[in-house]
Amino acid sequence: MDEAATVVMIVTVVAGKVALVAGLWLRLRYRAQQDRAQLAYLSGVARDVASRGGCIDLEDEREGCGRSRLLLTPGSAHLSNDAA
- Structure confidence at residue 61 (pLDDT): 74
- Structure confidence at residue 80 (pLDDT): 46
Q: Does pLDDT of 6 surpass 90?
A: yes
The per-residue pLDDT for range 10-19, each reduced to its tens digit, is: 999 999 999 9
- For 76, list phi and psi in degrees, rounded to 5: -70, -35
The per-residue pLDDT for range 36-80, each reduced to its tens digit, is: 998 898 888 888 887 878 777 777 777 666 777 777 777 765 444
Cβ within 8 Å of residue 54, ≥6 positions away: 72, 73, 74, 75, 78
Name the E strands within 1-84: 55-61, 67-73
Closest of 39, 41, 21, 42 to residue 31, by C-alpha? 39
